[in-house]
Structure formats: structure tokens, C-alpha cells
């Protein structure tokens, strides 16, 4: 009789080579990223590659620490840069050895804007008040832009 296998055991052989090509031994850094950097920064950043120095080993026989490349939205790049020493310590603590020596931020779009839009919930009453407020504006482009702004303003995130 066949036994059920954890999904991670089935997926690992498929995605393992892709992670290995980027310098990661496993996908666990992506799963643990919010725990490592905190929920706020995790929403706006993603580790993209771990680059190891060429064939150098430390005194303990382990490779010298690598450089972790992190994609980060422009608005949070400075935060990530200032927190880099702390994040290096947290990544190394997560793995139990000094695998990362520095973090190199790379500004990129992470997609949080699209995610925020999809998560937003608009109360129909508030939506109606926004529509009523912009209905008197004659210019169609301006009316549509203010309508989108109003909806974004009154939208709330999902219940936690």
C-alpha cells in the first residue's frame, strides 16, 4: 500500500536545481524570510541569490561567507541597507553558521502593490459615498482617477 508523502518531498526534486543555480541549498530561506527579517520588510523584499566566493575555505573548513542578493522595493532599500548587519546575523543564526557575510540590496518591484489591491475590501456604503463624491466632476479622466484614489483610501485589509 502506498503511503502519503509530504508535499515538500515531492516538490524538492523539481525546484531543487533552480535553487541550487541561485546558490541556495534549499528553498527554506524563502519560507523563513518573514521570520528572519520581520513581517514588514518581508512584504517588500525577497532573497534572490546567494553568491559564494570561489574555492576559499575558512579555518574551520567551511566556505567563506557568501553575499546574499536581496530584491527590495525602492522605498525600503534604505531600510534594508541600514539593517543589513542585523539581517546578516539573523540569517546566520537561522542556519547556525556564518554562511552570509554581507547583504547586497537590488532595487526591484516585488508586487506588493498588486497584492494590496487584491487584499483590499471595500464596504459597499463607503464605495457609494466615493462614487457620489466624484459624480459631479465633469472631466472623465480626473473623475476616474479620483474614484480609484477614493476606493484605495476606504479599502481595508482582510480580517486577521
Give the CB-side neighbour count of residue 74, counting CA atoms within 13 A.
2
Could you list the beta-strand ranges (E) of 32-97. 45-51, 66-72
Residues 130 and 104 in one domain: no
Instruction: Give the total number of structural domains in the chain.
Output: 2
pLDDT for position 71: 94
Residues 19 and 50 in one domain: yes
Residue 32 in any domain: the answer is: yes
Report the predicted TM-score, pTM, of the whole model to 2 decimal places.
0.56
Nearest to 48 by CA among 65, 63, 33: 33
Residues 129 and 66 in one domain: no
Residues 86 and 42 in one domain: yes
Q: Residue 28: is its pLDDT beyond 60?
A: yes
Domain that holds residue 105: 11-110
Residue 1 in any domain: the answer is: no
Residues 46 and 64 in one domain: yes
pLDDT 10s digits, 126-137: 889 999 999 999
Q: What is the mean pLDDT of residues 116-140?
A: 82
Amino acid at each position: 500500500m502506498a503511503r502519503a508523502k509530504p508535499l515538500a518531498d515531492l516538490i524538492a526534486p523539481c525546484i531543487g536545481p533552480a535553487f541550487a543555480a541561485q546558490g541556495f541549498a534549499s528553498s527554506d530561506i524563502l519560507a523563513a524570510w518573514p521570520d528572519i527579517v520581520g513581517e514588514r520588510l518581508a512584504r517588500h523584499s525577497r532573497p534572490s541569490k546567494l553568491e559564494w566566493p570561489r574555492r576559499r575555505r575558512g579555518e574551520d573548513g567551511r566556505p567563506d561567507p557568501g553575499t546574499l542578493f536581496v530584491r527590495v522595493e525602492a522605498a525600503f532599500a534604505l531600510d534594508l541597507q541600514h539593517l543589513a548587519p542585523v539581517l546578516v546575523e539573523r540569517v546566520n543564526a537561522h542556519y547556525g553558521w556564518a554562511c552570509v557575510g554581507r547583504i547586497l540590496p537590488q532595487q526591484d518591484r516585488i508586487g506588493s502593490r498588486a497584492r494590496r489591491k487584491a487584499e483590499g475590501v471595500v464596504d459597499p456604503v463607503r464605495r457609494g459615498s466615493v462614487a457620489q463624491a466624484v459624480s459631479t466632476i465633469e472631466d472623465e479622466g480626473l473623475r476616474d482617477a479620483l474614484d480609484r484614489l477614493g476606493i484605495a483610501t476606504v479599502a481595508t485589509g482582510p480580517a486577521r
